[in-house]
Structure 1
Amino acid sequence: MKCWLNLIFLFIFTCSSTCFGEVIIDQPTQRVLIGYGLERYMGKGEPNFADTSASSFQSLESKVPNLGISPTDIWFRLPVTNKGKEKLELLLEIAYPLLDEVELFVPSSNGHYKSIKLGEHQSFSARKYKVPNYAFDIQLPGYEKTIFFLRVKSTEQIILPIYLSNERSFLKEMNDDSLISGIYIGIVGIMAIYNLFLFFSVRERGYLYYVLYVLCAGITQMGIKGYSFQYLWPNWTYFATKGPIIFGCLSGLCALLFADSFLQLPKNAPRSRRVITAFIILFVVGSLLTLLNLTQPAFMVMQLTTGAGSLFVLYLSYRVMINGYKPAKYFVYGWTILLLGSVVFLLKDYGILKYNDFTSNAVQIASVVEMALLSFGLAYSINILKEEKEASQVRELAISLENEKLIREQNIVLEQKVDERTRELTESNESLQTTLTHLKETQSQLVEAEKMASLGQLTAGVAHEINNPINFVTSNVAPLKRDIKMIWETLEEVERIAFKEGISETEKQLQIKKFKEDLDIDYLKTEVDFLLKGMHDGAHRTAEIVKSLRIFSRVDEVTLKLADL
């Protein structure tokens, strides 16, 4: 064990040992890392170029300076000496696309400095070299030292891998990097599409969370490499600085949801879900802070939550694995490889490991391995579920056969008991039938007797009810005849007076009026109306009684009739 530790420390020391000093160039044919020649402005405040060009600078003594997060612009001086006699036309490349603004001050022939500004605040089409890294054309006169000034601003971590190369070496390196990133994107796309089809086939939520995690993680890695800005939103400068943070938060959130589903935390570690929920809330807060233009706090929230959440999920997966959940081993292996790749990437950023193609792409390589292992783990968990389902079906089939046997035996016993009970019921039924016949005969006799008694009561009641209204009619006949006789006499008297000769019309009217007053014709009218009304009421009540009797007897109704339900 001690020998292995010594080898690791020796490897780190060898990779990190670097000679610092002045940048001297002599016909470079390869891409040269020159970050060790950078000098940082140590003044206070936010100076402009005139302030910094006349101030003192301090050497950073690092091949790839890592300056952390800064809320203000950072100024650098870069002296480069051309040791040859020929004028060199080279490219100064800053291989860190996450910088928001990069401004290079290049000396011109008249002794003044010319500013060349690049960054994510400009659309991608404005760049001369259509690559994610920042590239500047510079000229180095022979046998001279040329001093360049550099201003850098970023909401994320500021890392400065600065290279000098000719155009051919630069383009070759960019093509190689694009090829590696293209392979990575292709693998991510294949994994996402394949597992999406599996999700539609098995309808397991773990596959959906895996697809979302793979897509967000892939876009995040492409954002770190600068390809998201180049291909996804080249003209959307607002989202260029926010995209990596937002998709970093989304990839972390989807990873937590996938871990919760894959490791079956509700069953295997229910208490840990509160911590998982807290991490998810922090990722959502980071996304909201980004949308509110608080990008530096959002980056810090995303970075801290990702680190703490990754370690916590690794611990959870290891605990679930040792508790006997077999698919968790794939998660442990994949997550461990991803964290190791992230550690290599961070050690490269802090200058502990050498800055090369392997360390620069360590996270992508580890991410591909991790995605493959997680995909295998999903398939393995589905196979385990399938085996458990098949075993459960076998158990259920055995139980079903046993139940069927018991049911057949119980049916035989039940049939015997049913036959015995049927015989008993038949005998009891015959006895009851005889008793019922006697009861029916007795009931018929009682009903007939009751009918006759009821009929007598009904007849007396009907006679009484009809007699009352008939009395109305008979009692009013004599007065009505008298009143009608008086009416006829009145008519005869009016006729006699009307045809009487020798008197005037006025005299006739006076005689008729006097006769009507003597007869009290108004009272006569009232009495006739009263008598007729009494006779009408008696007749109506008689008709109603007859109608009720007809309804009761139902002698004039058809068999079927409509009814309002």
Structure 2
Amino acid sequence: MVRLLPRKPTVAQPAPMEWWARMGGHRLLPGLFVLVVLVLVLVALVTLRDGAARATPPAEPTLLPESVELLQTADPSTDPADVASSDQWQRRTLPLNLGLTGDTVWLRVAFEGPNEASGQPWVLHLDNASLNRADLWLYEEDEAPARVHYRTGQRYPFSERPIEDSAFAFPLALKPETAYRAYLRVETHAHMRIPLTLMPMDAYINERLTHRIIQGAYFGLMLVIALASLVIFFSIRDRAYLYYFGFILTTGLWFFIRQGFAEQYLWPDWPWWSDRAYIVMMAAGAGMSVLFTREFLSLRTCHPPLFRIMTVLLWVWGIMALYALFVPSITTLKLISVILLIGGSLLLYSGIAAWHKGILEARFYVFAWTIIIIGAIALMLSHMALLPGDNRPFLVFQIGSALEGFLLSIGLAMRLNMAMRARAEAEHEALEMTAHLQRQTIEDQKRHAAELESHVEERTLELRQTMEQLASANEELEQLSIVDPLTGVYNRRHLTSQLHREWKRACREQVPLSMIMMDIDYFKLLNDTYGHMAGDRCLVELAKLLQEEVQRTSDILARFGGEEFVIVLPNTAIAGAEHLAERIRSRAEAHRVETENHRLAFTLSLGVASQIPGPGSDAEELVRRSDNALYEAKEAGRNRVVVAHELPS
């Protein structure tokens, strides 16, 4: 019970990817590539199936109609009254995909409220976080002015959103069986997708929670890959790992922006940057991919012309990032998309060329870049309005980026393995050179007999001194191996060996062998309350107290583990062991431990067992009995000595 009173050894690790080489990994590469592509296809199919399932009309009536009215115009008007009477309205089916367009898009949706009051608001969810502006007007039947008017988008601070979420959502208090008419005005410098759903608040919360869990897994994976690359860079100073860290970081940040999390967590009150971050980070990520490609594929040495082309492409991406910073527009995004297609093809070609030149890790690069291009094609088709307006193409691209990161990590591990192998070979050559020089020295010594004799005597003296130093070091090492470094008493390893020795002697001589097992009561509470330093101080003080009590040279005092100590008493009957245990308990209860800020006290629970070993028994039986007695002492209230029932000899 606790009361308040007034260098780890370095373990050699196998070289990275040794397991891959032992298993014939190079022969498994085609199968690995097929497997990864298959996983991508299966995930894509599952995503498509999920999207199709959600696109299927639910069994219960939905408030939104299957089709809405669409008006696409260059008119900057922001009042529904200015466009309501236009004859350019078209009926379209949700979700809408208008591709890359700089026009202002109006939606007009007529629907009725729920059949009965649900007691909770409804949410109109606009699942596209890349919209610069989204305005909603809700009219009840034909009345005017608008019953509800919301204004949101990347151009406005995050705190002004109707619902504080990474996506755009509008809370609506709908009356049962009431006719409504909604106008939605949308602008964007990015992809004009309008996936629109209307659901109760609790359904919306569940859907967003699932979305965040999935996205959290993805960003966690990307963060682990990035940090691992940074750690390796600081370890071996290979710039390929630094550039890979930058590539993974900018790629993950682009997806973070694309999903709307950046506005929520990174720059909620900086709409100027939010309006530009999507395009700027796309160019920055492409630039980092070029830097990584140049270094990873060693293009400077294996293919100088491609290296120069990559340098020009790097400058292009730097200029495009600055241009997008000051001119965020749909035209800028289209230009960047074209350069992405050209640049992505050049990067893939660079990987194939490096593979042809014998750069083994280039194989993983080609596989990874092929996968990301598959996802990019799906995204580009969506940008061209050739795919539905839901989120599936983007999810395929996001999955492809995760698989790309995984494959490139394998390639980097192979690169690290090859570098370490080259270093080992250089060290081996150095050792061979050293051996050669030693042989030459021996031959010289044979030609100079007198010098050889002198040298032999000197070396003999040095060897004798070295052996003496080694013997001394071995003695110190042996002592360290059997002594607990904190308390200075024997450790459990030494206790085990000595206990078996004393058990055999007691069996041979048929004399009793006793054991006291103890630990500090409520030691965990002591650690939690006063800190581990105070706990360690208590352990040291207890060890000193026990050393004062254990006087016979044949007795063995050891730290059994944690706050547990054991005393082995050869040729000692149970009465003597119990007497010693009670004396220790009493002294411990009266002892006080002085720390920097506190004066602590502690108590002990002790279990005592004694036995005359017989045939077929072992020392572990004595340990079990004393441990059971200690447990009984704990159960009985602690701060006491419990004696195990003595067994017949």
| TM-score normalised over the length of structure 1 | 0.62
Distance 1:56 1:17 in 2: 33
**Of residues 99, 121, 130 in structure 2, which corresponds to 1:68?**
99
- The answer (yes or no) to whether the contact 1:25–1:80 under 8 Å persists in 2 is no
How do 1:97-246 residues align onto structure 2 when only pairs under 5 Å count? 97-108=129-140, 110-113=143-146, 114-138=148-172, 146-246=180-280
- Which residue number in structure 2 is paired with residue 281 of structure 1? 315
- The answer (yes or no) to whether the contact 2:354–2:362 under 8 Å persists in 1 is yes
Q: Deviations over 1:423-460 (max 9, x none)?
A: xxxxxxxxxxxxxxxxxxxxxxxxxxxxxxxxxxxxxx
- Which residue number in structure 2 is paired with residue 327 of structure 1? 361
Q: Secondary structure at the match of 1:135?
A: strand
Q: Secondary structure at the match of 2:98?
A: strand
- The answer (yes or no) to whether the contact 1:94–1:134 under 8 Å persists in 2 is yes
> How much has 1:147 moved relative to structure 2?
2.6
Change (3 A) 1:409 1:295: farther
- The answer (yes or no) to whether the contact 2:361–2:414 under 8 Å persists in 1 is yes
Q: Secondary structure at the match of 2:134?
A: strand
Pair 1:304-2:334 in alignment: no
Which amino acid in the other structure matches residue 352 of structure 2?
Y
Distance 1:174 1:309 in 2: 35
- The answer (yes or no) to whether the contact 2:99–2:385 under 8 Å persists in 1 is no
Q: Secondary structure at the match of 1:164?
A: strand
Which amino acid in the other structure matches residue 115 of structure 1?
H
- The answer (yes or no) to whether the contact 2:131–2:190 under 8 Å persists in 1 is yes
- The answer (yes or no) to whether the contact 2:230–2:242 under 8 Å persists in 1 is yes
How do 1:364-443 residues align onto structure 2 when only pairs under 5 Å count? 364-395=398-429, 397-398=431-432
Change (3 A) 1:17 1:202: closer
Q: Secondary structure at the match of 1:147?
A: strand
**Of residues 282, 285, 301 in structure 2, which corresponds to 1:267?**
301
**Of residues 121, 127, 136 in structure 2, which corresponds to 1:95?**
127
- The answer (yes or no) to whether the contact 2:222–2:248 under 8 Å persists in 1 is yes
Change (3 A) 1:76 1:259: same
Q: Deviations over 1:56-89 (max 9, x none)?
A: 344464533222333342222223355x643675
Change (3 A) 1:274 1:79: farther
Pair 1:315-2:360 in alignment: no
Q: Deviations over 1:204-243 (max 9, x none)?
A: 1111111111111111100000000100000111111112
- Which residue number in structure 2 is paired with residue 248 of structure 1? 282
**Of residues 68, 73, 76 in structure 2, which corresponds to 1:38?**
68
> How much has 1:202 moved relative to structure 2?
0.8
Q: Secondary structure at the match of 1:312?
A: helix
Change (3 A) 1:356 1:105: closer
> How much has 1:134 moved relative to structure 2?
1.0
Greater mean alpha carbon deviation, residues 253-262 or residues 102-111: 102-111
- The answer (yes or no) to whether the contact 2:132–2:188 under 8 Å persists in 1 is yes
Distance 1:296 1:194 in 2: 36
How do 1:494-513 residues align onto structure 2 when only pairs under 5 Å count? none
- The answer (yes or no) to whether the contact 1:41–1:76 under 8 Å persists in 2 is yes
- Which residue number in structure 2 is paired with residue 525 of structure 1? none
**Of residues 91, 110, 116 in structure 2, which corresponds to 1:86?**
116
> How much has 1:395 moved relative to structure 2?
4.2
Distance 2:445 2:326 in 1: 75
> How much has 1:16 moved relative to structure 2?
13
CA RMSD after TM alignment: 3.7
- The answer (yes or no) to whether the contact 2:138–2:182 under 8 Å persists in 1 is yes
Pair 1:363-2:406 in alignment: no
| Structure 1 residue ranges without an equivalent (≥5) | 415-565
Q: Secondary structure at the match of 1:179?
A: helix
Q: Deviations over 1:242-286 (max 9, x none)?
A: 122222222111111111111111122211122212221221112
- The answer (yes or no) to whether the contact 1:15–1:353 under 8 Å persists in 2 is no
| TM-score normalised over the length of structure 2 | 0.55
- Which residue number in structure 2 is paired with residue 448 of structure 1? none
- The answer (yes or no) to whether the contact 1:338–1:367 under 8 Å persists in 2 is yes
Greater mean alpha carbon deviation, residues 102-111 or residues 397-406: 397-406
Distance 1:17 1:393 in 2: 57
Question: What percentage of residue pairs aligned between the two structures are identical?
Answer: 22
- The answer (yes or no) to whether the contact 2:97–2:382 under 8 Å persists in 1 is no
Change (3 A) 1:395 1:130: same
- The answer (yes or no) to whether the contact 2:286–2:340 under 8 Å persists in 1 is yes
Distance 1:181 1:243 in 2: 19
Q: Secondary structure at the match of 1:241?
A: helix
Q: Secondary structure at the match of 1:130?
A: coil
How do 1:346-357 residues align onto structure 2 when only pairs under 5 Å count? 346-347=380-381
- Which residue number in structure 2 is paired with residue 291 of structure 1? 325
Distance 1:148 1:256 in 2: 46
Distance 1:79 1:56 in 2: 17
| Structure 2 residue ranges without an equivalent (≥5) | 1-37, 449-649
Distance 1:18 1:243 in 2: 31
* Greater relative contact order structure (CA < 8 Å, 6+ sep): 2
Q: Deviations over 1:69-110 (max 9, x none)?
A: 33342222223355x643675211111011000011210463
Q: Secondary structure at the match of 1:361?
A: helix
Change (3 A) 1:230 1:205: same
Distance 1:66 1:174 in 2: 22
Greater helix proportion: 1
Distance 1:140 1:128 in 2: 16
Distance 2:389 2:106 in 1: 23
Distance 2:58 2:76 in 1: 31
Distance 2:177 2:64 in 1: 21
Q: Deviations over 1:462-510 (max 9, x none)?
A: xxxxxxxxxxxxxxxxxxxxxxxxxxxxxxxxxxxxxxxxxxxxxxxxx
Q: Secondary structure at the match of 1:38?
A: strand
Change (3 A) 1:345 1:156: closer
- The answer (yes or no) to whether the contact 1:57–1:77 under 8 Å persists in 2 is no
Change (3 A) 1:292 1:356: closer
Which amino acid in the other structure matches residue 271 of structure 2?
T
> How much has 1:310 moved relative to structure 2?
1.7
- Which residue number in structure 1 is paired with residue 487 of structure 2? none
- Which residue number in structure 2 is paired with residue 507 of structure 1? none
Q: How many residues align?
A: 400
Which amino acid in the other structure matches residue 366 of structure 2?
V
Distance 2:58 2:212 in 1: 29
- The answer (yes or no) to whether the contact 2:283–2:317 under 8 Å persists in 1 is yes
> How much has 1:142 moved relative to structure 2?
5.2
- The answer (yes or no) to whether the contact 1:24–1:80 under 8 Å persists in 2 is no
Change (3 A) 1:25 1:242: farther
> How much has 1:33 moved relative to structure 2?
8.6
Which amino acid in the other structure matches residue 189 of structure 2?
T
Distance 2:422 2:170 in 1: 62
Greater mean alpha carbon deviation, residues 45-54 or residues 214-223: 45-54
